[in-house]
Amino acid sequence: MSLRGFMCPVWMTFWTSLGERQVLSCLDLVQFYFQLPLSPESQDLYAFQTTEGQFSPAYVCQGDQSAPAVAQRVISKILEGIPGVRVLIDDIGVCSKSTDEILETLDLIFTRLGKYNLKLKPAKATLFCRELFQCPEKVERVKNWPRPVTSAQIASFLGFLNFWRQYMRGISQY
């Protein structure tokens, strides 16, 4: 698969392309890289040597420089042609004009993902939001976030806030 000329999209372009669409949903693929099998030829290219012997991974490696572009290309091809769908590696954004329309779109997405045996993470799904900036699931997540104690927990919380602050009005009030 050639990645020449293939660029990962900018997530902000999804939100600015909504137009008249009013019903929003976001889906997240579980450990997406580890769901992408490598061909036998690619496994040889990824092989590495340890004191225990030589190992060849069966799935795409997260640390590889081309992994994001490969993952983006794969999911873009799988969901190609479904109206109102934008993907950014393991995140799938869906927008439509009505609840009936988004149900049809979600059915198409689930069918295509099932065809390739790709799994979603239900806990990270946000379905049927009417207003992007005040999606109830995201607001509740901020309000109920456990008090961070370790530096890793603080970094996780700040990363979440840093990304979502551009989409949630008054996030500092929560």
Please give the pLDDT value at position 68: 83
What's this model's pTM, rounded to 2 decimal places? 0.68
Residue with tokens 């065809």: 115
Q: CA 142 to CA 58: how far, in whole Å?
A: 37
Return the bridge partners of 148, or none.
Answer: none
For residues 92 and 10, the model is more confident at 92
Phi first, then psi: what are they for 163, rounded to 5°? -75, -50
Residue 29 CB neighbour total at 10 angstroms: 21
Would you say 73 and 1 are in contact if contact means Cβ atoms under 8 Å apart?
yes
Mean pLDDT, residues 53-79: 86
- Tens-place pLDDT, residues 20-60: 667 778 888 988 888 888 888 888 888 889 999 988 888 88
Tens-digit pLDDT profile for residues 124-165: 888 887 665 556 676 777 788 889 999 999 998 888 878 777
Between the CA of residue 87 and those of 17, 25, 28, 73, 148, what are the distances in Å? 13, 12, 10, 10, 30
